[in-house]
Amino acid sequence: MPGPSALSRRKSIARFWGVIPISLAIVLFAVRACVHVPAVDRMVAAPSLADDPPKSEARTATLWVPRGGPMIIGFQSTGPARLTVASRDSRGSGVVKQLRLFVDAGPLPIRFAGPPNARLMWSPPGRRGDMEYLPSSSLSPEPPETARFSNPGTNIADGVIALLLLLVLVGSLLMLARRRLAAVPRSTWIAFGAVLVVALLARLIGLGDQGQTWDEDVNWASGRNYITNVLALDFSDRAWIWNYEHPPVMKLLDGIGAQLADGFGPARALSALWVSLGCALLVPIGGRLFRLRVGVIAALIAALLPPLVAHGQVVGHESPTVLWWSLGVLLSLGVHDRLPEDNRRAALRSIILRMVAVGAVVGIAVSSRFVNGLLGPLCVLIILVRAPAAWRRDTLKWIAIAAVTAVVVFVAVWPRMWSHPIQHLNESLKKLKGLHSEEPFLGKLTNVPGPHYFLVYLFATAPAGVLFAFAGGVARVIKVRSVSLWIVVAWLAFPLLVSAWPVRQDGVRYVMPCLLAGALLAAVGIDWLATVLEKRTRLAFPALGGLVALYLAITLARTYPYYLDYFGEHVGGAGGVQKRRMLETAWWGEGLDRAIAYVNAHAPQNAAIEPECVQPGHLTWYRQDLWANITRSPPAADYIVWYSPATMPCTVPATFHQVFAVTHDGADLVRVYAKRP
């Protein structure tokens, strides 16, 4: 037991490390307040007009439009305001007042008359979804003929400051856990780092080559807005209405990257990091449940699984979900680690602190996606079955601490919950209950598939080799029936409870944690086989591990870059499931960018385009002159782009012929038709 001087020294260190992150955060917020210039303040004063709103300040500026085409521009204002762009006005006050107009690329004069606390907003040509706060970098106080812009479309200072704040938070948490981390064997750290590198490389190579996907616009834009709100310490209701049907944590994390570029690249790179960390955490998880080599091979399988690679390249809710489930399971496994047997009060204090940590992770997980609430019961189960008999009754009582912590964290990180929480929560859930469009499932088109929907997709999107190893793991569960194996089975089962929700769609998106548990069971199967073979050769496990890694690497190379459309060999690949209308292919916009690029490169000036054969239509960013000749009549068009021909109805007149197509593993993703000369 440490003496008084040691305890005093520890308390001093704790106070010291508590002051540092708070001081750094204050400094970063102060720097941001000094360097940030709101878009309205970037404008210069202009003479008022007779019909301007009363008590308004008139300002003008030049807006840089990065691409030509349809644009939405507007404002948020608590008082009467007026925005004038291209001789068109938007007037009023409230949540968002906007103008929809067609613009040319380049400098564009705008005028705004309103209160100084108003916010300018837009959706520039090339993006849709929730409107974005107009960055001051896209404005110049000079007239169009002399205007100059530096990194238009970005908030680089905000992105850097937000990233530093995140590093301060993560560093503080690591410092609190420093003793637990110091006890981790060096071999585990080396394996964790190696898998993390492999996972990152698998996602960063070809990052975004699949093209823009369906939800990225809205996630990216709302995330950028949320980061701006946090740095401005703006927690008003009107500042958190963007994409309010989903909780904010994923958007906050990837919103850091959204500040750094006028594009999805940095945000996608952050998504890759969250998924990679979640995969790498299988190393210590497998080591605790079984042995280190099981954790290593499980993490390697997860790192190279096509669905996990696919969603690590998208600005979406799936990437942090993988991280939170891995972290929650790992912390739950360690709740009863190294408790002092001779000091029950100190042991209880340790358990309570660890319960708080588990509850915080569950709260953050739910704040990333509602269905992550299923992580909570799994953590409770793990904590109870791993508790020593002498601690089980006390543990059952202290689980309430984790539950309360989860609720507190959920409310704390989502400012919409700070006022009218029940009303705002109901609004979010109500918006999520709407059925999506029909998709093929087992030979028919439906938007209400059966409860076996996710099981079918998990089977179809698992590489055949991994599925074989998984079967070995299941056989091991049946034969051995150890607590560790049943924990993995529970991990596989709990996410599938989402099947009780009537909205079942988009493949494995809602059951991503099942892939982690599946990778663990596959690793158990490989370890079992290696144990049998090691009677003949000591190299059995390295050989099997290398063979699995090579197989998955070849699978990724063969599937590149459309991992979203991966299906295993046992169901005939993407082409096989599309031909039988078994499952959904070409569902999120993958490959559409190549078809649009072909039209932009080959269509003559002012050619007519028919847009009705593309869903999602908001991803069709044609050349500027082509937007002026959009036609709803196929015979009047010069080009027709048909996305997802297997499921999307489209009438192509006989006067057209196919000039371009994007195919993947035998599946028809998108076709381009041109009128015959």
Residue the block writes with tokens 């008590």: 55
| Six-digit token string for 200 | 């990152």
pLDDT at 641: 96
The architecture in CATH of the region 39-153 reads Sandwich (2.60)
pLDDT of residue 10: 58
The secondary element (H helix, E strand) that includes residue 65 is: strand 57-65
Picking from 261, 223, 229, the residue whose alpha carbon sits closest to that of residue 76 is 229
Task: Say what the pLDDT of residue 202 is.
Answer: 97
Residue whose token pair is 């991280």? 323
Sequential DSSP letters for 265-284: HHHHHHHHHHHHHHHHTHHH
d(CA 354, CA 332): 8
Phi, psi of 496 (to 5 degrees): -70, -10
Pairing of β 444-446 and β 639-643: unpaired
Please tell me whether residue 343 adopts helix, strand or coil conformation. coil
For the chain (length 677 residues), average pLDDT per consecutive 10? 54 65 94 94 93 91 94 92 91 83 94 92 89 95 94 96 96 90 95 98 95 92 96 93 94 96 96 98 97 97 97 95 98 87 76 93 97 96 90 85 96 94 90 78 89 96 96 91 93 95 87 97 95 87 94 96 96 95 92 95 94 87 88 91 92 95 95 93
Domain boundaries, the chain: 39-153, 157-433+442-559, 592-675
Decide if 586 contacts 580 (C-beta within 8 A): no
| Beta carbons of 552 and 302 less than 8 angstroms apart | no
**Sign, Cα dihedral of 362, 365, 367, 373:** negative
Position 8 scores a pLDDT of 59
Spatial distance between the Cα atoms of 69 and 85, rounded to a whole number of angstroms: 15
CA 52 to chain centre: 43
